[in-house]
Structure formats: C-alpha cells, structure tokens
C-alpha cells in the first residue's frame, strides 16, 4: 500500500501508466487530485481542489476532468493535464451550483450535472451541462425542475445523454434522455426508486432499484419502455455492470453480489459479500466486488459467482476498484488512507 495521510473516497482512474485518485485531508479539511506511477506507486503530482472527492476523475485524451468546490465556493469543472497536473481550463457555473458526481466525457464533450438552488428554501432544480472538452465553453444546458441529484453521473451512448434525478414533489425518480448535440429531451419516464448511474449496452438501458423490492431493470434505450424488471428483495443502490450476456449488481441491505440474464432478468447466481458501497467491476471472467461490511475486495467467477479469492484491506473500500491488465487499484477511506495495487491471482 502507498500511504498518503489522506482518505480516498473515489474510485481510481488509470490511464497512460498513471493512477489518479481524489483525496481528502482531515487535518487540512481540503481535498486534492493526486497522480501516481501505476507500476511503482511513486507520486507524480498533486492538484489541490479544496473539496472531498467521492467520485472518480474522468479520463479524456490526455486530460482529466474533475469537479471542485466547497461550502463557501461555487463548484467548478477543471480540465487538468494528465502528465503535469497543470490546469488547462476551468468552468464556473452561475448560481452557486453543486456538482456531486464525476463529469462524463464523450466525443469531445464534457457532460456535468449539478443542483441549482431556487428561490424556495430547500428546493432545487437540476441542470445537465455540455462543455467543449478542449475549451470549457458551455455548449448547452437542460434544466429539470424540482429535482435533486443522487450522486450519479450521466451516461452518454450513441448521441444520447441518459440521466436520472429524484422528483422533489413525489420522491420518485425521473429518468431522462437528452440529445447529446442539442440538449433537447428525447424522452422522460418515472423510474420508481432507481439508483446509481444507468448502463447502456446494445440499445438497452440497465439500472438498479432500491427499497424492499430492489433489483434490476432493463429498458429500451430509444423509448424508456421497460423490457423486464427483477426484484431481489434487497436494496440495490449502485449502477450495474453488463458483460457477455449478464447484468451484474450489488446490494447494500444484507449485502450481496448477483448476476441476471441480460435478456430475461432471470437470476443466475448470488453471493453473500456483505454490504457493498459500489458497483461490481467485470474484467474478463472475473467480477470484483467491494465489500464495505467485510472490509475486503472479493474476486468472483463471473459464470457461477463462486469465490476465487479475496484480499483484506486496512479499512472499508468506499468505492469499487479500477482494474487494468489484471491489476486492481483501490483506495483506503481511513483518516490515514492509502492506495493499493493488487495483482490478480
């Protein structure tokens, strides 16, 4: 483990031979983005941002896109050079907006969602913004009235931006599809207790649901129409992963990882992993599950859910690992946290 004396609340991002993590210092009450050599763990640079980072930096072409801000400062989106940590541009949104999740980068555009305070105390709207990835120039904004965020990032696939918010009027979740070029709404549906960021694969949108009947849902990505839904009877609070004809999810209540058939939603297997605090990560024929309850990372056989191995950490993993070329990178959320590089076994 590479000790940092800082807590890591975000999943790492790995690119160009470096590992990038968001950190928080309890001593300084401030946060930063840090870069490390992926092979040796040697620190390359640090960019102080002043906030807790609970979501991963987003990776573009040689550039990281991150959000920053604080209780007394407006939230910003920064473009940071991966090699040096130098800021290339900064975009400040008007109206004291709060950005809770990672921006999403696709086709030269950065998509960021933020809460906007209104004239009514305790009431917010949500705006989805599109920024030019090279300059930070605002291309368009789409506002969803009377809504709140749930720490999820937009999903951008085939020219459409998918995002969900909580309706402050009735507590249900609204799921929206916007044209990625213009910001016009393509469709919007009520999604009950949807949680986590959606995943879109081959024209189908998959998302998790929370509550006593939490589980997984598949929708037509072009219309939002439900194709199937499966209740697991547990609180599935993180976005699913989809690979090789299977949907993989995790639950918080009672704690498990599960696999569903991509076409029908039928349960293929379930593994008692303890409470999870992040989505599963699939690499080749292995599923990696961050277990908050067990303070470890599980490696499961993707086909049948049997345990291949696990590694115990010094504290609970707050987010899922990043997996690159068979190596896992995961952060430690303890007060004197650190960064692990774990070779797959």
Nearest to 10 by CA among 317, 309, 341: 317
* For the chain, domain boundaries: 93-191, 193-312
> Tokens representing 164?
């969900």
User: How far apart (Å, rounded) are the C-alpha atoms in residues 330 and 132?
Assistant: 30
Mean pLDDT over the full length of the chain: 85
pLDDT interval class at 170 (50, 70, 90): low
Distance of alpha carbon 171 from alpha carbon 161, whole angstroms: 22
Q: How far is CA 88 from the centre of its chain?
A: 24
Candidates 3.40.50.1000, 3.40.50.2300, 2.40.10.480, 2.60.40.640; CATH matching 93-191: 2.40.10.480
The whole-angstrom separation of Cα 33 and Cα 51 is: 10
Q: Tell whether the model's pLDDT for residue 71 goes beyond 50.
A: no
Beta strand pairing call for 185-190 and 173-179: antiparallel
Which H helix or E strand runs over 338?
strand 338-343
Rounded CA-CA distance 206/218 in Å is 5
Q: Provide CATH code, domain 193-312.
A: 2.40.128.630
- How many whole angstroms separate alpha carbon 203 and alpha carbon 217? 14
C-beta of residue 129 within 8 angstroms of C-beta of residue 138: yes
Q: Could you give the CA distance from residue 51 to residue 324 in angstroms, rounded to a whole number?
A: 27
Is the pLDDT at 153 greater than 80? The verdict is: yes
pLDDT in tens, 244-277: 999 998 887 677 889 999 999 999 999 998 887 7
102: pLDDT strictly greater than 70: yes
Nearest alpha-carbon partner for 36 in 26, 22, 49: 22
Least confident span in 20-34, 116-130, 295-309: 116-130
- Intra-chain end-to-end CA distance of the chain, in Å: 17
Q: Which two tokens stand for residue 182?
A: 């213009």
Query: In CATH terms, are 93-191 and 193-312 the same topology?
Result: no
Element (H, E) at 33: strand 30-37
Q: How confident is the model at residue 169 (pLDDT cuts 50, 70, 90)?
A: low
């Amino acid at each position: 483990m590479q000790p940092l004396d800082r807590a890591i609340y975000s999943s790492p991002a790995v690119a160009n031979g470096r590992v990038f993590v968001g950190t928080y210092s309890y001593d300084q009450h401030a946060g930063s983005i840090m870069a490390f050599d992926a092979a040796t763990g040697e620190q390359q640079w640090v960019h102080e941002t002043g906030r807790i980072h609970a979501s991963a930096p987003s990776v573009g072409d040689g550039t990281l896109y991150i959000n920053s801000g604080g209780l007394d400062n407006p939230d910003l989106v920064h473009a940071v050079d991966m090699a040096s940590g130098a800021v290339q541009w900064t975009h400040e949104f008007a109206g004291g907006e709060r950005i809770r999740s990672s921006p999403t980068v696709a086709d030269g555009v950065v998509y960021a969602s933020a809460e906007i305070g209104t004239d009514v105390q305790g009431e917010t709207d949500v705006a989805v913004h599109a920024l030019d990835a090279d300059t930070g120039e605002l291309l368009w904004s789409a506002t969803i009235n009377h809504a709140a965020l749930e720490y999820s990032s937009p999903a951008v696939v085939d020219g459409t931006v998918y995002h969900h918010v909580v309706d402050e009027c009735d507590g249900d979740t609204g799921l929206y599809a916007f044209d990625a070029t213009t910001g016009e709404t393509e469709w919007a549906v009520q999604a009950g207790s949807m949680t986590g960021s959606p995943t879109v694969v081959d024209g189908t949108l998959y998302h998790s649901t929370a509550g006593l009947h939490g589980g997984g849902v598949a929708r037509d990505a072009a219309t939002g129409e439900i194709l199937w839904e499966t209740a697991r009877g547990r609180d599935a609070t993180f976005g699913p992963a989809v690979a090789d004809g299977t949907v993989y999810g995790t639950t918080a209540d009672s704690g498990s990882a599960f696999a569903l058939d991509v076409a029908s939603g039928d349960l293929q297997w379930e593994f008692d992993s303890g409470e999870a605090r992040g989505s599963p990560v699939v690499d080749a024929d292995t599923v990696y599950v961050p277990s908050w309850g067990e303070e470890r990372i599980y490696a499961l056989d993707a086909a049948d859910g049997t345990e291949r191995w696990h590694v115990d950490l010094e504290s609970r993993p707050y987010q899922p690992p990043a997996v690159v070329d068979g190596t896992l990178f995961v952060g430690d959320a303890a007060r004197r946290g650190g960064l692990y590089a774990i070779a797959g076994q």
